Amino acid sequence: MNSANDIFSQPGFQPVHDDFHGDLLELSIGPHHPSTHGVFRMNATLDGEVVVKLKPVFGYLHRNHEKLAEQNSYLASIPYTDRLDYLSSLTNNWAYVHAVEKLAGLAVPERAEYLRVILGELARLINHCCLVGFLLNDLGTSFTPLLYSLRERERMLDLIEELTGSRMMCNFMRFGGLRTDVSADWLARLEHFLDHQFARYLREQDALLTGNEILLARLQHVGILSPKLAVQAGITGPMLRASGVDYDIRKVDQYGIYDRFDFRVPLGDHGDTYDRYMMRMLEMHESVKIIKQAIRDLPVGDFLDPKAKNRGLRPKAGSCYARIEGPKGEIGFHLVSDGSANPYRYRVRPPSLINLTVLEDMCLGRTLADTIVILGSVDIVLGEVDR
Protein backbone atom coordinates (compact mmCIF):
# COMPACT_ATOMS: atom_id res chain seq x y z
CA MET A 1 0.00 0.00 0.00
CA ASN A 2 1.32 3.45 -0.90
CA SER A 3 2.82 5.74 1.71
CA ALA A 4 0.90 8.92 2.54
CA ASN A 5 4.02 11.04 3.10
CA ASP A 6 3.70 12.69 -0.33
CA ILE A 7 0.07 13.52 0.36
CA PHE A 8 0.85 15.16 3.70
CA SER A 9 3.48 17.38 2.04
CA GLN A 10 1.14 18.76 -0.65
CA PRO A 11 0.64 22.56 -0.65
CA GLY A 12 -2.47 23.56 1.25
CA PHE A 13 -2.81 20.20 3.05
CA GLN A 14 -3.85 20.81 6.65
CA PRO A 15 -4.21 17.60 8.65
CA VAL A 16 -6.46 17.51 11.68
CA HIS A 17 -3.56 16.00 13.65
CA ASP A 18 0.20 15.80 13.04
CA ASP A 19 0.83 12.20 14.06
CA PHE A 20 0.84 9.68 11.22
CA HIS A 21 0.17 6.17 12.50
CA GLY A 22 1.63 4.37 9.50
CA ASP A 23 -1.26 2.01 8.72
CA LEU A 24 -3.75 3.13 6.07
CA LEU A 25 -7.28 1.82 5.58
CA GLU A 26 -8.93 1.75 2.18
CA LEU A 27 -12.70 2.21 2.48
CA SER A 28 -15.37 2.08 -0.23
CA ILE A 29 -18.36 4.31 0.52
CA GLY A 30 -21.38 3.60 -1.69
CA PRO A 31 -22.61 3.29 -4.35
CA HIS A 32 -25.76 2.33 -2.42
CA HIS A 33 -25.59 4.57 0.62
CA PRO A 34 -28.01 7.31 1.69
CA SER A 35 -25.21 9.80 2.33
CA THR A 36 -23.84 9.55 -1.23
CA HIS A 37 -27.03 11.17 -2.58
CA GLY A 38 -27.58 8.55 -5.25
CA VAL A 39 -25.60 5.71 -6.79
CA PHE A 40 -22.24 7.38 -6.22
CA ARG A 41 -19.11 5.80 -4.78
CA MET A 42 -16.14 7.27 -2.94
CA ASN A 43 -12.95 5.27 -2.54
CA ALA A 44 -11.32 6.76 0.54
CA THR A 45 -7.90 6.09 2.05
CA LEU A 46 -7.85 6.81 5.78
CA ASP A 47 -5.18 7.32 8.41
CA GLY A 48 -7.34 6.58 11.41
CA GLU A 49 -10.34 8.85 10.82
CA VAL A 50 -8.44 11.29 8.59
CA VAL A 51 -8.86 11.26 4.81
CA VAL A 52 -5.51 11.16 2.97
CA LYS A 53 -6.93 10.21 -0.44
CA LEU A 54 -10.41 10.20 -1.94
CA LYS A 55 -11.44 9.25 -5.45
CA PRO A 56 -15.00 9.64 -6.77
CA VAL A 57 -16.38 6.79 -8.88
CA PHE A 58 -19.22 7.52 -11.34
CA GLY A 59 -21.13 5.56 -13.94
CA TYR A 60 -23.64 3.51 -11.98
CA LEU A 61 -26.60 5.47 -13.37
CA HIS A 62 -25.45 6.12 -16.94
CA ARG A 63 -28.49 6.35 -19.25
CA ASN A 64 -26.96 7.45 -22.57
CA HIS A 65 -28.84 10.77 -22.49
CA GLU A 66 -26.66 12.56 -25.04
CA LYS A 67 -26.58 9.79 -27.63
CA LEU A 68 -30.32 9.20 -27.29
CA ALA A 69 -30.90 12.89 -28.00
CA GLU A 70 -28.91 12.61 -31.23
CA GLN A 71 -31.40 9.98 -32.44
CA ASN A 72 -34.54 11.92 -31.42
CA SER A 73 -36.20 15.04 -32.71
CA TYR A 74 -35.46 18.29 -30.92
CA LEU A 75 -38.91 18.25 -29.30
CA ALA A 76 -38.65 14.62 -28.17
CA SER A 77 -35.56 15.40 -26.07
CA ILE A 78 -37.34 17.79 -23.70
CA PRO A 79 -38.67 14.97 -21.44
CA TYR A 80 -35.16 13.51 -21.22
CA THR A 81 -33.87 16.77 -19.75
CA ASP A 82 -36.33 16.33 -16.88
CA ARG A 83 -34.29 13.33 -15.78
CA LEU A 84 -30.96 15.16 -15.54
CA ASP A 85 -31.42 17.01 -12.27
CA TYR A 86 -34.70 15.42 -11.29
CA LEU A 87 -35.16 17.85 -8.41
CA SER A 88 -35.10 20.80 -10.85
CA SER A 89 -36.64 19.61 -14.10
CA LEU A 90 -38.01 23.04 -15.02
CA THR A 91 -34.56 24.62 -15.16
CA ASN A 92 -33.29 21.66 -17.20
CA ASN A 93 -36.13 22.28 -19.65
CA TRP A 94 -35.31 25.97 -19.75
CA ALA A 95 -31.60 25.50 -20.46
CA TYR A 96 -32.33 23.11 -23.33
CA VAL A 97 -35.06 25.13 -25.04
CA HIS A 98 -32.89 28.24 -24.58
CA ALA A 99 -30.14 26.49 -26.58
CA VAL A 100 -32.53 25.34 -29.33
CA GLU A 101 -34.04 28.82 -29.59
CA LYS A 102 -30.56 30.27 -29.99
CA LEU A 103 -29.67 27.66 -32.61
CA ALA A 104 -32.90 28.12 -34.59
CA GLY A 105 -33.30 31.88 -34.08
CA LEU A 106 -36.67 31.59 -32.32
CA ALA A 107 -38.28 34.45 -30.38
CA VAL A 108 -39.95 34.14 -26.97
CA PRO A 109 -42.99 36.30 -26.07
CA GLU A 110 -42.72 38.67 -23.10
CA ARG A 111 -45.28 36.81 -21.03
CA ALA A 112 -43.49 33.51 -21.55
CA GLU A 113 -40.18 35.08 -20.44
CA TYR A 114 -41.74 36.25 -17.18
CA LEU A 115 -43.38 32.88 -16.57
CA ARG A 116 -40.06 31.11 -17.17
CA VAL A 117 -38.44 33.29 -14.52
CA ILE A 118 -41.23 32.46 -12.06
CA LEU A 119 -40.90 28.73 -12.68
CA GLY A 120 -37.11 28.79 -12.72
CA GLU A 121 -36.92 30.55 -9.37
CA LEU A 122 -39.57 28.22 -7.95
CA ALA A 123 -37.31 25.32 -8.98
CA ARG A 124 -34.42 27.06 -7.19
CA LEU A 125 -36.50 27.28 -4.00
CA ILE A 126 -37.31 23.57 -4.18
CA ASN A 127 -33.68 22.67 -4.75
CA HIS A 128 -32.25 24.87 -1.99
CA CYS A 129 -34.75 23.95 0.71
CA CYS A 130 -34.05 20.28 -0.02
CA LEU A 131 -30.29 20.91 0.19
CA VAL A 132 -30.64 22.49 3.62
CA GLY A 133 -32.71 19.55 4.89
CA PHE A 134 -30.44 16.85 3.41
CA LEU A 135 -27.32 18.63 4.68
CA LEU A 136 -28.62 18.51 8.24
CA ASN A 137 -29.51 14.85 7.75
CA ASP A 138 -25.91 14.18 6.61
CA LEU A 139 -24.76 16.02 9.71
CA GLY A 140 -26.48 13.39 11.87
CA THR A 141 -29.00 15.71 13.47
CA SER A 142 -32.66 14.93 13.99
CA PHE A 143 -35.03 14.65 11.06
CA THR A 144 -36.79 17.90 12.00
CA PRO A 145 -34.99 20.28 9.55
CA LEU A 146 -35.38 17.74 6.73
CA LEU A 147 -39.07 17.25 7.43
CA TYR A 148 -39.61 21.01 7.49
CA SER A 149 -37.93 21.21 4.07
CA LEU A 150 -39.86 18.31 2.59
CA ARG A 151 -43.12 19.83 3.85
CA GLU A 152 -42.47 23.02 1.87
CA ARG A 153 -41.26 21.06 -1.14
CA GLU A 154 -44.55 19.15 -1.23
CA ARG A 155 -46.52 22.40 -1.15
CA MET A 156 -44.53 23.74 -4.10
CA LEU A 157 -44.87 20.45 -5.97
CA ASP A 158 -48.64 20.67 -5.50
CA LEU A 159 -48.58 23.95 -7.42
CA ILE A 160 -46.26 22.56 -10.09
CA GLU A 161 -48.40 19.45 -10.54
CA GLU A 162 -51.53 21.56 -10.94
CA LEU A 163 -49.84 23.60 -13.67
CA THR A 164 -47.80 20.99 -15.55
CA GLY A 165 -49.57 17.73 -14.75
CA SER A 166 -46.49 16.25 -13.07
CA ARG A 167 -44.73 16.76 -9.75
CA MET A 168 -41.17 16.13 -10.94
CA MET A 169 -40.93 15.27 -14.66
CA CYS A 170 -42.70 18.37 -15.90
CA ASN A 171 -41.94 18.45 -19.66
CA PHE A 172 -43.35 21.97 -19.65
CA MET A 173 -41.05 24.30 -21.61
CA ARG A 174 -41.44 24.57 -25.37
CA PHE A 175 -39.41 26.26 -28.08
CA GLY A 176 -40.74 29.81 -28.12
CA GLY A 177 -42.54 29.64 -24.79
CA LEU A 178 -44.45 27.20 -22.59
CA ARG A 179 -46.83 24.30 -23.12
CA THR A 180 -49.79 26.07 -21.44
CA ASP A 181 -50.58 29.42 -19.85
CA VAL A 182 -50.80 30.20 -16.14
CA SER A 183 -54.05 31.35 -14.53
CA ALA A 184 -54.36 34.44 -12.34
CA ASP A 185 -55.68 32.24 -9.54
CA TRP A 186 -52.58 30.02 -9.67
CA LEU A 187 -50.30 33.05 -9.46
CA ALA A 188 -52.29 34.45 -6.53
CA ARG A 189 -51.97 31.18 -4.61
CA LEU A 190 -48.24 31.03 -5.36
CA GLU A 191 -47.77 34.55 -4.02
CA HIS A 192 -49.86 33.75 -0.92
CA PHE A 193 -47.72 30.68 -0.29
CA LEU A 194 -44.50 32.71 -0.54
CA ASP A 195 -45.81 35.44 1.75
CA HIS A 196 -47.08 33.10 4.45
CA GLN A 197 -46.05 29.41 4.56
CA PHE A 198 -42.67 29.76 2.90
CA ALA A 199 -41.79 32.95 4.77
CA ARG A 200 -42.54 31.13 8.02
CA TYR A 201 -40.37 28.20 6.89
CA LEU A 202 -37.40 30.51 6.24
CA ARG A 203 -37.79 32.07 9.69
CA GLU A 204 -38.05 28.64 11.33
CA GLN A 205 -34.97 27.22 9.61
CA ASP A 206 -32.96 30.36 10.24
CA ALA A 207 -33.82 30.37 13.94
CA LEU A 208 -33.21 26.63 14.25
CA LEU A 209 -29.99 26.33 12.27
CA THR A 210 -28.02 29.43 11.32
CA GLY A 211 -26.67 30.21 14.78
CA ASN A 212 -26.84 26.66 16.14
CA GLU A 213 -23.60 25.90 17.98
CA ILE A 214 -23.46 22.30 16.73
CA LEU A 215 -23.92 23.47 13.14
CA LEU A 216 -21.22 26.11 13.58
CA ALA A 217 -18.76 23.64 15.11
CA ARG A 218 -19.31 21.04 12.37
CA LEU A 219 -19.45 23.32 9.31
CA GLN A 220 -17.21 26.31 9.90
CA HIS A 221 -13.63 25.97 8.55
CA VAL A 222 -14.53 22.55 7.13
CA GLY A 223 -14.16 21.69 3.45
CA ILE A 224 -12.59 25.00 2.42
CA LEU A 225 -12.56 25.73 -1.31
CA SER A 226 -10.28 28.59 -2.28
CA PRO A 227 -11.44 31.14 -4.88
CA LYS A 228 -8.43 30.32 -7.07
CA LEU A 229 -9.12 26.58 -7.16
CA ALA A 230 -12.85 27.16 -7.64
CA VAL A 231 -12.23 29.29 -10.73
CA GLN A 232 -9.54 26.97 -12.13
CA ALA A 233 -11.82 23.93 -11.76
CA GLY A 234 -14.79 25.62 -13.44
CA ILE A 235 -16.97 25.52 -10.32
CA THR A 236 -20.20 27.49 -10.64
CA GLY A 237 -23.34 28.30 -8.69
CA PRO A 238 -23.63 28.61 -4.90
CA MET A 239 -20.37 26.65 -4.45
CA LEU A 240 -18.41 29.28 -6.36
CA ARG A 241 -20.13 32.22 -4.68
CA ALA A 242 -19.52 30.67 -1.25
CA SER A 243 -15.81 31.08 -2.03
CA GLY A 244 -16.36 34.81 -2.56
CA VAL A 245 -16.37 34.83 -6.38
CA ASP A 246 -19.04 37.21 -7.69
CA TYR A 247 -20.33 35.23 -10.67
CA ASP A 248 -23.98 34.56 -11.39
CA ILE A 249 -25.07 33.89 -14.98
CA ARG A 250 -28.35 35.70 -14.32
CA LYS A 251 -26.24 38.84 -13.87
CA VAL A 252 -23.40 38.03 -16.30
CA ASP A 253 -25.47 36.93 -19.32
CA GLN A 254 -28.79 38.49 -18.31
CA TYR A 255 -30.51 35.79 -20.34
CA GLY A 256 -34.24 36.07 -20.72
CA ILE A 257 -35.30 39.20 -18.86
CA TYR A 258 -33.22 38.94 -15.68
CA ASP A 259 -31.89 42.47 -16.20
CA ARG A 260 -35.35 43.75 -15.23
CA PHE A 261 -35.29 42.36 -11.69
CA ASP A 262 -33.81 43.79 -8.54
CA PHE A 263 -31.92 41.10 -6.63
CA ARG A 264 -28.51 40.70 -5.07
CA VAL A 265 -25.96 37.90 -5.37
CA PRO A 266 -24.89 36.69 -1.88
CA LEU A 267 -21.17 35.94 -1.43
CA GLY A 268 -19.28 33.94 1.19
CA ASP A 269 -16.15 34.94 3.07
CA HIS A 270 -14.37 31.63 3.72
CA GLY A 271 -15.48 29.08 1.13
CA ASP A 272 -16.25 26.54 3.83
CA THR A 273 -19.23 24.25 4.29
CA TYR A 274 -21.03 26.80 6.46
CA ASP A 275 -20.76 29.42 3.70
CA ARG A 276 -22.19 26.93 1.23
CA TYR A 277 -25.12 26.39 3.59
CA MET A 278 -25.61 30.14 3.94
CA MET A 279 -25.59 30.68 0.17
CA ARG A 280 -28.67 28.48 -0.16
CA MET A 281 -30.46 30.20 2.70
CA LEU A 282 -29.73 33.69 1.35
CA GLU A 283 -30.50 32.81 -2.26
CA MET A 284 -33.95 31.56 -1.28
CA HIS A 285 -34.78 35.06 -0.02
CA GLU A 286 -33.62 36.53 -3.34
CA SER A 287 -35.63 34.01 -5.37
CA VAL A 288 -38.77 34.98 -3.48
CA LYS A 289 -38.09 38.63 -4.34
CA ILE A 290 -37.66 37.80 -8.03
CA ILE A 291 -40.86 35.74 -8.22
CA LYS A 292 -42.91 38.48 -6.58
CA GLN A 293 -41.52 41.10 -8.98
CA ALA A 294 -42.29 38.84 -11.95
CA ILE A 295 -45.87 38.27 -10.79
CA ARG A 296 -46.32 42.01 -10.26
CA ASP A 297 -45.00 42.94 -13.74
CA LEU A 298 -46.37 39.96 -15.69
CA PRO A 299 -47.75 41.26 -19.01
CA VAL A 300 -50.69 39.91 -20.96
CA GLY A 301 -50.03 38.25 -24.27
CA ASP A 302 -48.99 34.95 -25.78
CA PHE A 303 -47.44 32.19 -23.67
CA LEU A 304 -46.06 30.59 -26.86
CA ASP A 305 -44.85 32.27 -30.03
CA PRO A 306 -47.47 31.26 -32.65
CA LYS A 307 -44.72 31.24 -35.28
CA ALA A 308 -42.50 28.86 -33.32
CA LYS A 309 -42.27 25.40 -34.83
CA ASN A 310 -41.91 22.65 -32.24
CA ARG A 311 -42.81 19.54 -34.22
CA GLY A 312 -40.61 18.95 -37.24
CA LEU A 313 -38.12 21.65 -36.23
CA ARG A 314 -35.10 21.67 -38.56
CA PRO A 315 -32.60 24.42 -37.61
CA LYS A 316 -30.14 25.54 -40.26
CA ALA A 317 -26.71 23.95 -40.14
CA GLY A 318 -24.61 25.46 -37.38
CA SER A 319 -23.74 25.14 -33.71
CA CYS A 320 -24.38 26.97 -30.48
CA TYR A 321 -23.83 26.81 -26.74
CA ALA A 322 -26.41 28.28 -24.37
CA ARG A 323 -26.49 28.23 -20.58
CA ILE A 324 -28.53 29.38 -17.60
CA GLU A 325 -27.94 29.71 -13.86
CA GLY A 326 -29.47 26.50 -12.54
CA PRO A 327 -29.92 25.89 -8.80
CA LYS A 328 -26.62 23.97 -8.68
CA GLY A 329 -24.68 26.18 -11.10
CA GLU A 330 -24.18 26.55 -14.83
CA ILE A 331 -26.21 24.10 -16.86
CA GLY A 332 -25.52 24.44 -20.56
CA PHE A 333 -26.20 22.64 -23.83
CA HIS A 334 -23.92 22.47 -26.87
CA LEU A 335 -25.89 21.64 -30.00
CA VAL A 336 -24.68 21.05 -33.55
CA SER A 337 -27.22 21.02 -36.39
CA ASP A 338 -26.70 19.56 -39.84
CA GLY A 339 -30.10 20.75 -41.01
CA SER A 340 -31.90 17.52 -40.17
CA ALA A 341 -34.74 16.91 -37.70
CA ASN A 342 -32.42 15.78 -34.91
CA PRO A 343 -29.14 17.21 -33.53
CA TYR A 344 -25.92 16.03 -35.14
CA ARG A 345 -24.19 16.54 -31.77
CA TYR A 346 -25.78 17.08 -28.37
CA ARG A 347 -23.74 17.65 -25.22
CA VAL A 348 -24.70 18.71 -21.71
CA ARG A 349 -22.55 20.78 -19.34
CA PRO A 350 -23.93 19.60 -15.95
CA PRO A 351 -22.99 21.51 -12.77
CA SER A 352 -23.08 18.45 -10.48
CA LEU A 353 -20.32 16.69 -12.44
CA ILE A 354 -18.05 19.74 -12.65
CA ASN A 355 -18.57 20.67 -9.00
CA LEU A 356 -17.64 17.14 -7.90
CA THR A 357 -14.14 17.45 -9.37
CA VAL A 358 -12.87 19.34 -6.29
CA LEU A 359 -14.35 16.94 -3.74
CA GLU A 360 -10.98 15.37 -2.85
CA ASP A 361 -9.33 18.79 -2.47
CA MET A 362 -11.97 19.81 0.07
CA CYS A 363 -11.81 16.53 2.00
CA LEU A 364 -8.05 15.95 2.39
CA GLY A 365 -7.01 16.26 6.01
CA ARG A 366 -10.58 16.15 7.30
CA THR A 367 -12.29 13.32 9.12
CA LEU A 368 -14.55 10.75 7.49
CA ALA A 369 -17.56 12.35 9.22
CA ASP A 370 -16.57 15.72 7.72
CA THR A 371 -16.37 14.14 4.26
CA ILE A 372 -20.04 13.14 4.33
CA VAL A 373 -21.07 16.70 5.20
CA ILE A 374 -18.73 18.23 2.59
CA LEU A 375 -20.24 16.02 -0.11
CA GLY A 376 -23.71 17.07 1.02
CA SER A 377 -22.78 20.74 0.67
CA VAL A 378 -21.73 20.21 -2.98
CA ASP A 379 -25.37 19.36 -3.81
CA ILE A 380 -25.28 16.68 -6.49
CA VAL A 381 -27.89 14.77 -8.41
CA LEU A 382 -26.50 11.71 -10.16
CA GLY A 383 -28.84 12.05 -13.13
CA GLU A 384 -26.78 14.94 -14.47
CA VAL A 385 -23.44 13.44 -13.35
CA ASP A 386 -23.86 10.27 -15.39
CA ARG A 387 -26.43 11.59 -17.91
CATH label of the domain that carries residue 329:
1.10.645.10
Q: What pLDDT, on a 0 to 100 scale, did the predictor assign at position 34? A: 76
Residue 196 burial (C-beta neighbours within 10 Å; 0-12, 13-18, 19+): exposed
The model's pTM: 0.91
Per-residue pLDDT of the chain (387 residues; tens, 9 = 90+): 344 445 445 545 555 445 555 689 999 998 887 778 889 999 999 999 999 999 999 888 888 999 999 999 999 999 999 999 989 999 999 999 999 999 999 999 999 999 999 999 999 999 999 999 999 988 887 778 899 999 999 999 999 999 999 999 999 999 999 999 999 999 999 999 999 999 999 999 999 999 999 999 999 999 999 999 999 999 999 999 999 999 999 999 999 999 999 999 999 999 999 999 999 999 999 999 999 999 999 999 999 999 888 888 999 999 999 999 999 999 999 999 999 999 999 999 999 999 999 999 999 999 999 999 999 999 999 999 998
Q: Are residues 92 and 203 in the same domain?
A: yes
Residue 260 burial (C-beta neighbours within 10 Å; 0-12, 13-18, 19+): middle
Q: Are residues 39 and 98 in the same domain?
A: no
Q: Are residues 32 and 140 in the same domain?
A: no
Q: Are residues 52 and 74 in the same domain?
A: no
Q: What pLDDT, on a 0 to 100 scale, did the predictor assign at position 263? A: 97
Name the percent of the chain lying above pLDDT 70: 94
Taking the C-alpha atoms of residue 314 and residue 343, their distance in angstroms, rounded to an integer, is 9
pLDDT digits (tens, 9 = 90+) for 212-224: 999 999 999 999 9
Q: Are residues 137 and 191 in the same domain?
A: yes
Question: Residues 16, 365: contact at Cβ < 8 Å?
Answer: yes
* HEC profile of 43-111: EEEEECCEEEEEEEECCCCCCCHHHHHCCCCCHHHHHHHHCCCCCCHHHHHHHHHHHHHHHHCCCCCHH
Q: How far apart, in Å, are the Cα atoms of 354 and each of 114, 162, 387? A: 29, 34, 13
Q: Looking at 33, 57, 81, which one is the last position of a domain?
A: 57
Q: Are residues 134 and 232 in the same domain?
A: yes
Count the Cβ atoms, other than its own, within 10 Å of residue 233: 17
Q: Are residues 129 and 109 in the same domain?
A: yes
Q: What pLDDT, on a 0 to 100 scale, did the predictor assign at position 141? A: 77
Q: Are residues 51 and 177 in the same domain?
A: no
Q: Are residues 42 and 115 in the same domain?
A: no
Q: Are residues 37 and 78 in the same domain?
A: no
Total structural domains within the chain:
2
Domain extent for 11: 5-57
pLDDT digits (tens, 9 = 90+) for 83-121: 999 899 999 999 999 999 999 999 999 999 999 999 999
- The sign of the CA dihedral 45, 50, 55, 61 is positive
- The sign of the CA dihedral 372, 375, 381, 384 is negative
Q: Are residues 123 and 253 in the same domain?
A: yes
Q: Are residues 319 and 218 in the same domain?
A: yes
